[in-house]
A = this chain, B = another copy of it.
Amino acid sequence: MCPDDLPSALSEPRSRAALPSVAIVGTTGAVGVELCACLEQRGFPLASLRLLASQRSAGREVAFAGRMLRVEVLDERSFEDVDLALFSAGASVSRQYAPLAVKAGAVVVDNSSAFRMNPDVPLVVPEINAAEIARHHGIIANPNCVAIIAVVALWPLQQAHAIRRVQACTYQAASGAGAAAMQELLASTGAYLAGETYARRVMKHPYAFNLFSHDAAINPATGYNGEEEKVMAETRKIMGLPELLVGVTCVRVPVLRAHAVALTVEFEERVSPEKVLGVLAVAPGVRVVDDRGANHFPMPNEASGQGDVLVGRIRTDVSDPSGRSVSLLVAGDQLLKGAALNAVQIAERLYSC
């Protein structure tokens, strides 16, 4: 199946031996593809790259830095000689293999939800809490994509004016459910336009020109779904604000790869939209898109492929008579800042790139 002349891992010359040997787990998934791209595009200094995936994807060839690498089957010995393992293959794979990677001596940056709320595991967005990285015990968790995109905008505001309460409604893209969900959106939409039926494989509900409440299981005690509970808990943990009031409604919309989030932020004191705009205009990882005259605000199509989170529609929430609430709209690439880019940024901090 696989030509023998293809290396199973990229190996750099000996002079770079001090650089980390890197493995990606879940190479062929939507995030895995972007992990490879981010490492390459950002020139992440690595000694070797091992691409791991399930049996189904093993043997595929992936281009990296001008060479073709062969995808290997993930197994218990995959992490020998690996210094840094970037996991993005779901929580169950992380639960099984991340401890093995740590045991083998690797540091794991895990994109799944498996360890995020473990008190011993740093949950990191580098613009916010990069210092947390130093206290890791082998695993650093990459947060939920909505949480990342929201906190990149919320944190600079919190630094300037204490936040009391955050309410969010999401407009989440297909990519958050993986490459197969993106494919299902495209294929089912094509079938709709052709007047053909489409047999769903990934989503619980029809996706062409439709939207639905995020299909994570509902917690019967609260009525919130698992995605919403992740966003609420992780937002508090990343920002180090365990008492922050957060309420979220997560909705999946027929958009491909960038999430939008409508936020209403209640501060402890009155804060003008002009002040909010001023804070966000100089915030790291943020790009203000707020042209009222042109009706040009954050949109998924413009967030896609971008590392920055787009922020705009900044206005005082007229439904709060205290004048302490500001509404805004953010959009960020779910696969980049919401996943792969943030993971690579964590890795860069680990290795002081």
Residues of A within 8 A of B (CB): 165-167, 169, 171, 185-186, 189-190, 193, 204-206, 209-213, 215, 217-218, 220, 222-225, 232, 245-247, 249, 251, 253-256, 260, 262, 264, 273, 292-293, 295-301, 312-321, 325, 327, 329
Q: A223, B301: Cβ atoms under 8 Å?
A: no
Q: Of the candidates B165, B171, B213, which one forms a contact with A253 in the assembled complex, judged by CB atoms under 8 Å apart?
A: B171
Q: Are A273 and B223 interface neighbours, CB within 8 A?
A: yes
Secondary structure class of chain A's binding surface, majority of residues: mixed
Residue of B295, B315, B321 near A215 (CB, 8 A) is: B295
Cβ A167 vs Cβ B264 within 8 A: yes
A210 touches B319 (CB 8 A): no
Q: Are B254 and A254 touching (Cβ within 8 A)?
A: yes
Q: Are A247 and B264 in contact (CB under 8 A)?
A: yes
Contact across chains for A210 and B255 when beta carbons are under 8 A apart: yes
A295 lies within 8 A of B327 (CB): no
Q: Are A247 and B318 in contact (CB under 8 A)?
A: yes
CB pairs A–B below 8 angstroms (25 shown)? A165-B320, A167-B317, A169-B249, A171-B253, A185-B209, A189-B189, A189-B209, A205-B296, A209-B256, A210-B255, A211-B260, A211-B299, A213-B297, A213-B298, A215-B295, A217-B295, A223-B313, A224-B315, A232-B318, A245-B320, A247-B318, A247-B319, A249-B313, A249-B327, A253-B253
